[in-house]
Amino acid sequence: MKLPIFLDNHSTTPMDPRVLETMLPYFVEKFGNAASRNHAFGWAAEEAVENARKQIAKLIKADPKEIVFTSGATESDNLAIKGALEMYGEKGNHIITSATEHRAVLDTVKVLEGKGKATATYLPVDKCGMVSPEDVRNAITEKTILISVMMANNEIGTINPIKEIGKIAKEKGILFHCDATQGVGKIPVDVQDMGIDLMSFTSHKMYGPKGVGALYVRKKNPRVRIVAQIDGGGHERGMRSGTLPVPLIVGFGKACELCEQEMTKETARLIAMRDRLEASIMKALEESYLNGHPTNRLPGNLNISFAYVEGESLLMGMKDIALSSGSACTSATLEPSYVLRALGVGTELAHSSIRFGLGRFNTDDEIDYTIKKVVEIVTKLREMSPLYEMAKEGVDLKSVQWAAH
């Protein structure tokens, strides 16, 4: 076993060596511009791009023509939301989204609100982190033109009832955008069955290269149109100009193909490892609380709050394991995780959360090592914690008058 261990697979994933192999010829040998229509270099590049488009479309049950390449999921979210608002702005300007969306969606919507271009409803989630389809229905107004709800949450892994939301959107004739960054490649996605009109996803979360992503744009029932946010040569059917990064796209395609072929096996393996990690930690450490949905969540996700210890110190005590925390100290904003807060997790428990993100290349040995380390460090830090001491003495921490600072 090699240290450090990477258990942060929601942030990014290592590239699969098989993906790299397929990319390599497209740097030096087959370097053509896919938009060059008049020579062999261009044709080779175009063929490679179209092949990747097919591989990607197959994974999400779309038509290859419905795939628009972007630089990643953040750009896809921006393009979907701003592009749809600009195209359908005459019909209305109301957007429905949820409180636990990724910042790429929330900030995009907030910027549009700030400029007076849109009004928005941010739906709450239940204590497991799920959006209620009925809440979506009730939030719809005459002015609503877009519903944007994520497929699976990046912190707690909770999977939303996308199909039900898609059905409501269709019934009301409102476009449905889904940020599926964490979902595609991990769980089965079918844009037809789920009634998705626009869907953002990215390569580097599924063992492909960084720097490339896609926006699925439905072509029929209904034909969705969006206004380009980057103007230029009119690539990607006019929706996203810019020379295509052929090697990245080839890698993205291969990554999708591998996910499609191996998903069933990989999911079973990840769930077994994740459940073992969860059960062992919970058994060894009292007052550890699972954040998110107990069953309906991403196979590789485990998010736990360890009462009485602070997240950043936990990470510091496990330097040879790459993890992330919802603690304020680990965020740029100095606020604890807004996702956990939206679930109703108390601020003090949000500070105490650790996200384990398991992926394709994690092994049982690594999980054993992680269990041992987590139990060790939580025990050590609880011994050091005045809160743990007080709780053991029977003091109700909620009744204490703290001097907030």
Report the Cα 368 to chain-centroid distance in Å: 26
Residue 113 in contact with another protein, rule: CB under 8 A = no
Binding range to another protein, per CB under 8 A, among 92-100, 150-158, 357-365, 387-395: 387-395
| Binding-site member from 229, 317, 369, 379 for another protein (CB under 8 A) | 317
Q: Give the nearest distance from C-beta 311 to another protein in angstroms.
A: 8
Residue 116 in contact with another protein, rule: CB under 8 A = no
Q: Give the nearest distance from C-beta 330 to another protein in angstroms.
A: 8
Residue 76 in contact with another protein, rule: CB under 8 A = no
Residue 405 in contact with another protein, rule: CB under 8 A = yes
Q: Give the nearest distance from C-beta 340 to another protein in angstroms.
A: 13
Return the closest-CA partner of residue 57 out of 243, 261, 214, 276. Answer: 214
Q: Which is nearer to another protein, 13 or 352 (CB)?
A: 352
Residue 301 in contact with another protein, rule: CB under 8 A = no
Q: Is 148 exposed, middle or buried (0-12, 13-18, 19+ CB in 10 A)?
A: buried
CB atoms within 10 A of CB 319: 10
Q: Is 199 exposed, middle or buried (0-12, 13-18, 19+ CB in 10 A)?
A: buried
Residue 40 in contact with another protein, rule: CB under 8 A = no
Task: Show Cβ contacts of residue 308 under 8 Å, excluding neighbours closer than 6 positions.
Answer: 287, 352, 381, 382, 385, 387, 388, 391
Residue 285 in contact with another protein, rule: CB under 8 A = no
Q: Which is nearer to another protein, 40 or 397 (CB)?
A: 397
Residue 305 in contact with another protein, rule: CB under 8 A = no
Residue 211 in contact with another protein, rule: CB under 8 A = no
Point out the catalytic residue in the list 128, 256, 259, 329.
329
Binding range to another protein, per CB under 8 A, among 41-49, 92-100, 200-208, 303-311: 303-311
- Residue 249 three-state SS: helix
Task: Show Cβ contacts of residue 146 under 8 Å, excluding neighbours closer than 6 positions.
Answer: 81, 84, 85, 88, 95, 96, 174, 175, 176, 177
Residue 92 in contact with another protein, rule: CB under 8 A = no
- Residue 382 three-state SS: helix
Positions of E strands within 65-139: 67-70, 94-98, 119-123
Active site residue 329: yes
The C-alpha atoms of residue 278 and residue 285 are separated, in whole angstroms, by 11
CB atoms within 10 A of CB 175: 26
| Binding-site member from 21, 173, 316, 363 for another protein (CB under 8 A) | 316
How do beta strands 94-98 and 144-148 pair? parallel
| Binding-site member from 13, 158, 313, 353 for another protein (CB under 8 A) | 313
- Residue 239 three-state SS: coil
Residue 386 in contact with another protein, rule: CB under 8 A = yes
Residues within window 324-353 making contact with another protein, judged by CB under 8 A: 327-329, 334, 336, 346-348, 351
Distances (CA, A) of 12 to 7, 81, 238, 320: 10, 24, 29, 17
CB 357 within 8 A of CB 293: no
Q: Give the nearest distance from C-beta 294 to another protein in angstroms.
A: 25
Return the closest-CA partner of residue 121 out of 88, 143, 104. Answer: 143
Residue 252 in contact with another protein, rule: CB under 8 A = no
Element (DSSP H or E) covering residue 146: strand 144-148
Q: Give the nearest distance from C-beta 277 to another protein in angstroms.
A: 24
Residue 291 in contact with another protein, rule: CB under 8 A = no
Q: Give the nearest distance from C-beta 398 to another protein in angstroms.
A: 9
Residue 3 in contact with another protein, rule: CB under 8 A = no
Q: Give the nearest distance from C-beta 386 to another protein in angstroms.
A: 4
Binding range to another protein, per CB under 8 A, among 68-76, 137-145, 195-203, 381-389: 381-389
Q: Give the nearest distance from C-beta 302 to another protein in angstroms.
A: 22
Contact residues: another protein, CB under 8 A: 308-310, 312-313, 316-317, 327-329, 334, 336, 346-348, 351, 383-389, 397, 400-405
Q: Annotated catalytic sites, by residue?
A: 329
